[in-house]
Chain A
Amino acid sequence: MHFRIFLIFLMLSGAARADLLIEITKGLEGALPIAVVPFGYVGDKGQPTTNVGNVVSADLGRSGRFKPLPVGDMLSRPTRNEQVDFRDWRAVNVENLVIGEVQQNGPGGYLVKFRLYDVFRGEQITGFSIPTTSRDLRSTAHQIADIIYETLTGQPGAFNTRIAYITSFRTKAGKEKDGTTIYKEKVQLRVADADGYNPQTIVTSDEPLMSPAWSPDGRRIAYVSFERSKPSIWVQEVFTGRREKLTSFKGINGAPAWSPDGRYLALTLSKDGNPDIFIMDTRRRTLRALTRHWGIDTEPAWSPDGKQIVFTSDRGGTPQIYQVSVNGGEPKRLTFEGKYNARASYSPEGRFLTMVSRLNGDYRIGTLDLQNGELSILSDGMLDESPSFAPNGSMIIYATRANGKGVLAAVSTDGRVKQRLALQAGDVREPAWSPYHQNERK
């Protein structure tokens, strides 16, 4: 009996863990040496399966700004203040030390305590005690990583955030009359923690799903679904699964993008003959055309101040990025390098655009510095697409290919650190990094 329960538990946790694996493929030079000791546990029930210290350590390492000391290289493993001997840490050249403890706190509850030290000055920099539950333990660990990151770098962390992405599983389902193989596809819209754990499927379809976009409060996702063999834009509440159809016009219904205040959606419709950008007031359900051009106008994105919209247009002969006031007017071309620049979006502080740029036939992730017009290519794949900034602007997540599969990768905005989030099964694509605020986890 016990044995069976144990097996089931193992399978479940295995599935949750193995889904996205993160490996840092480049970077680490110049990273800050830090040690995060595995957290201790105080309680009469069994330890939680998540070790908060390990999650914190992995987060900090993933950012590329820190180089966590391997546990095996630690000379001691303190979990409480009085156990810390700074000489053990100076000896291995660690600048900062994190220790902590998880305490049982009522049924299903925990209290997580941690301290961050400056090793060379031999003093505590900060320390918190955070009540949580077994379900939210990983989330609490990400919060702690955020606190440490912000304390030591001066920038807010983005570890306690989520990513939405599309996963597709394709299987052979027979042959057509002309001999070509027919594929059956299962497409899913998923949401996972920013480190790839806790993936949850929020939409499943046997027809394409595209272009997930988080609302600024992180509670809703707009997306395109081809269910019933027709593209429509839907808005779905992440926590309840409740959804409604927003547009289903003749032709294209695509590329939804939320305004920073969450009231408007910019989107692409071709109901009047060819793809143009429209703005929908989601409260009044009114629609206004923003662009009117015979070319393809698509992939709108809002500036952080909500005053400008960038979009892709081939009005000049090749796809390039244009900017237009939300009130309309003549669009201004922003990209001039190369023959293919598409799918732009603003960095959170508005200084950069990230986009897909073709370079010698390869599609790469680039950034355009709007202050000096400089284009930097950050990725090195052949078919990289769908870049999305972390809400703190430190990283860009995007879709790439590895070993014949679609996978997600992230690169630091300065191009110094690269990492890959490798999914075990299926093709993964179209990542969208959530905003900071996420209330009410179901």
Chain B
Amino acid sequence: MKKTRLAWTAIAAAAVILSGCSGTGTRDDAGDGAQVVEGGSGAQTAGAGAAGAWTGNPLDNPDSLLATRKIYFDFDRSEIRPEFVSILRAHADYLNSNRSANVTIEGHCDERGSREYNIGLGERRAASIMSFLEAEGVDPAQINTISYGEERPQDPGHNESAWAMNRRGVLVY
């Protein structure tokens, strides 16, 4: 429901821009449609009027880096691995262009070690992602963090590959 409405608003907004009107035209639309027009992402959706390109909220674009909401960590570490930097930059760009957007960062751990210590470690991972986004200019007020420690594994297995999947940070919009 909501997605459909967003897509329609975006198409309407794109039409407004293409027809050369100013942003005032969007005032008739629903509140969250206005976000799409304002800022950088508005230009993207406008240009995407061409056949086959994405029209809608960039968060819903499966080809965007924003479609990746999970990054993974090394054992007992909370540093951002180099391969995830571009993904987090894309999220920072999105949040910077959409100041009313909020994200919750979940920190998770693998099952090894004690549970409350893992809550601490999960929080450190979430904080590490938060610091990265803030360094990219994201307003801290847009970010919320929560640590689930080892309580919510993504892979219920008990081996190295499951553990690697479970040591993660998740961005929830």
Contact = CB atoms under 8 A, between A and B. Distances in A.
Given A208-B148, A252-B123, A386 B115 contact: yes
Interface string A188-229: 000000000000000000001011000000000000001001
Nearest to A185: B152
B114 A383 contact: no
A180 interface: yes
A299 B146 contact: no
A210 B156 contact: no
A149 interface: no
B interface secondary structure, majority: mixed
Contact of A226 (B116, B148, B158, B165): B148
A252 B113 CA distance: 18
Contacts of B119: 210, 231, 252, 254-255, 268, 275, 298
Given A299-B117, A340-B113, A383-B112, A252 B147 contact: yes
B124 A296 contact: yes
A429 B146 CA distance: 22
A356 B116 CA distance: 12
B102 interface: no
Contact of B151 (A208, A270, A358, A385): A208
Nearest to A295: B120
Interface residues of B, number: 30
Contacts of A401: 158
B118 to A, nearest CB: 9
B9 to A, nearest CB: 21
A252 B117 CA distance: 11
A interface secondary structure, majority: strand
A319 B117 contact: yes
Interface in B92-119: 111-117, 119
Interface string B134-155: 0000000000011111011011
A427 B10 CA distance: 46
Contacts of A180: 154-155, 165
B53 interface: no
B65 to A, nearest CB: 13
B143 to A, nearest CB: 12
A342 B119 CA distance: 13
A319 B75 CA distance: 13
Given A177-B67, A208-B148, A231-B146, A343 B123 contact: no
B56 to A, nearest CB: 14
List the 7 shortest-distance A-B pairs measured between CB atoms, nearest first. Answer: A296-B120, A208-B151, A343-B114, A342-B114, A255-B116, A275-B120, A298-B116
22 contacts: A177-B67, A211-B116, A229-B146, A251-B123, A254-B116, A268-B116, A270-B123, A274-B120, A296-B117, A296-B124, A298-B116, A298-B117, A298-B119, A312-B114, A312-B117, A342-B113, A343-B115, A343-B116, A356-B114, A363-B112, A385-B113, A401-B158
